[in-house]
Structure 1
Amino acid sequence: MIKILTDSTSDIDLNQAKELGIDIIPLKVIINGQEYKDRIDLQPDEFYHLLTTSTTLPTTSQPSPQDFLTHYEEAKKHGDSVIVMTLSSVISGTYQSANIAAGIAKYDDIYVIDSLATTQMLRLLVLKAVTLRDQNMDVKDIVKTLEEYKHRIRIYAFVDTLEYLYKGGRLSKTAATAGTLLKFKPIIGLKDGKLEMFAKARGTQKATAKIIDLIHEDGDIDFDEPICVGFTGNDDGLDKFEQILRDEFGFGEVLHGCVGPVIGTHAGPGARLISYVRKEI
């Protein structure tokens, strides 16, 4: 049997995880001195309420090796293979914790993948792993496929406010103030596992148009793979954002998802995103 593990930054809630037959290791979120387990003690809507009312920016901490080791030892006992997909090692030490635990477990059938991703990107990688597992693919072939597949996953988002990028040290006060006055919306995403600002545009309409430009520049969307449209905070206006993208690219059904604390802390509420898989070149 193949066990699939990921962390809570995949933004897969516990009910979905149960349906998919996977296990989620929670990160911890610290707000106003109080520690919460992501999506166990703290759901996304509660997190955004605390984020907007807190005077200090929340911090997150990685799971400990022990959090992974418990799952590894259970798999070892049953002779199961384990595939672990963690959020980007550039963003967090979660990947390191998963590897330390694998060393302690002394079990050769554990495969730890640095997704170079988080939020809906990581979710798409996990869904691919589930699909391949359910097709009874050999574990080593699944890992090889996922290592190639992860480089094709993209995410683009615009943020509604510059406040949190400034508070998190990703924008200077001058840039944040000027941007707010001009109603700039930064277009952010992940590149090589790192949170980056790709562009900025004035207003929602132009920000959405810029995301469309970035997708076209990068290559075609693979419509045989899932597409996710997501948000931070609340989903007001998400249907309009989705419809503009749908009109441009002509895709069918999409997944929806709310971004959790790790990226949500930097983006703040009101962000809109699309995550998809680029066609193989």
Structure 2
Amino acid sequence: MIIVTDRGADLSPQQMQGLSIHFTPLTITLDGRSYVSGVDIQPEEFYALLASTDSMPTTSLPSPGEFIDLYRELAKLDPEIVSVHISSGLSGTAETARAAAAMVPEAHITVIDTFTLSGAEGWQVEAAARAARAGWSVEQIRALLEQVRDATETVFTLPELKYLIHGGRISHLKGLLASILNIKPIIGVSKTDGKYYQRSRARSFNAALAKLVQVAAEDHAPGTALRVQVMHANNPEGAEELRRAMAAEYDCEWLPTTSIAPVLGAHTGAGLVGMVYAARAAYPAIP
């Protein structure tokens, strides 16, 4: 069995160690140049470019042809393919993967919509790759990823909203009002449609970081044993502040703090801080 994902999944080198995962490209265009996220450009380079221009980045998903070519090449190695992708509520990648899969009859391709992104998508991809390595069936893996999705929460905040507005991730009017009032939203990802929604808000970025921990307390009582991964967009100081605040309230099993992929940062700009978390007791046993 072969596992495929996209560059919207944030996975640390430690998480990927010993796992076989194939990536489809997600592309950023900035100032007339295109870059494959995580291949042609890394987070540090991307945010340096972003800081040096007034232009707004755009992103594009893989074409059906790129998916078809990848699936056909992989099918020569193993016809059983599980393709795990960024939320359909935020990207057309999963839909494109399904259309491409229908054009590759020599393979049995299962496309899974994670209904999330970034580190939470990475958790599902890691789980799928570990289960595939252990010889699990497609149906077992599908059920496992549903368990991971149901157990996991993603929350983040960011200092400015213009990139989310430009990318169509929030409405122009709501974003403009929030910017004028200097409101910093606490954003979650819905498990029903995989879209962003506001869980809370604060009047300063430091207050928003504290609010992230308060939002976690709505899901899990302080002291709960959690699996946690902190994510950031060129803001390691904010990430460390969130990590310290969570450590003071919870019994945390930490995954490596990770920079979000450039293709995700294109929709947030620099400064974002967030986390993925799940109760360890609810998190399924993964081989």
1:2-30: CA deviation from partner (whole Å, max 9, x where unpaired): 11110001023789757421111110111
Match of 1:86 in 2: 85
Equivalent residue letter for 2:74: A
Shift of 1:115: 0.7
Segments of 5+ residues of structure 1 without an aligned counterpart are none
Shift of 1:231: 0.4
Match of 2:246 in 1: 245
Structure 1 distance, partners of 2:77, 2:263, is 33
Shift of 1:145: 1.9
Say if 1:220 and 1:195 are closer, same or farther in 2 by CA, change over 3 A. same
Structure showing the higher helix proportion among its residues: 1
Match of 1:67 in 2: 66
1:145-184: CA deviation from partner (whole Å, max 9, x where unpaired): 21343233211111123443454453443431221xxxx4
Structure 1 distance, partners of 2:64, 2:8, is 17
Say if 1:127 and 1:227 are closer, same or farther in 2 by CA, change over 3 A. farther
What pairs up with 1:177-188 in 2 under 5 angstroms? 177-179=180-182, 184-188=183-187
Contact 1:188 1:199 in 2 (8 A): yes
Contact 2:213 2:245 in 1 (8 A): no
Q: CA RMSD in A?
A: 2.6
Match of 1:197 in 2: 198
> How many residues are aligned here?
275
Segments of 5+ residues of structure 2 without an aligned counterpart are none
Q: Which moved more, 1:113-122 or 1:126-135?
A: 126-135
Contact 1:69 1:102 in 2 (8 A): yes
Say if 1:166 and 1:110 are closer, same or farther in 2 by CA, change over 3 A. closer
Contact 1:17 1:24 in 2 (8 A): no
Equivalent residue letter for 1:37: V
Matched, 1:117 2:116: yes
Contact 2:79 2:107 in 1 (8 A): no
Say if 1:273 and 1:82 are closer, same or farther in 2 by CA, change over 3 A. same
Matched, 1:56 2:55: yes
DSSP 3-state at the match of 2:181: helix
Aligned residues with identical type, % of pairs: 29
Match of 1:26 in 2: 25
DSSP 3-state at the match of 2:267: helix
Contact 1:113 1:147 in 2 (8 A): no
Shift of 1:238: 2.1
TM-score (structure 1 length as normaliser): 0.87
TM-score (structure 2 length as normaliser): 0.85
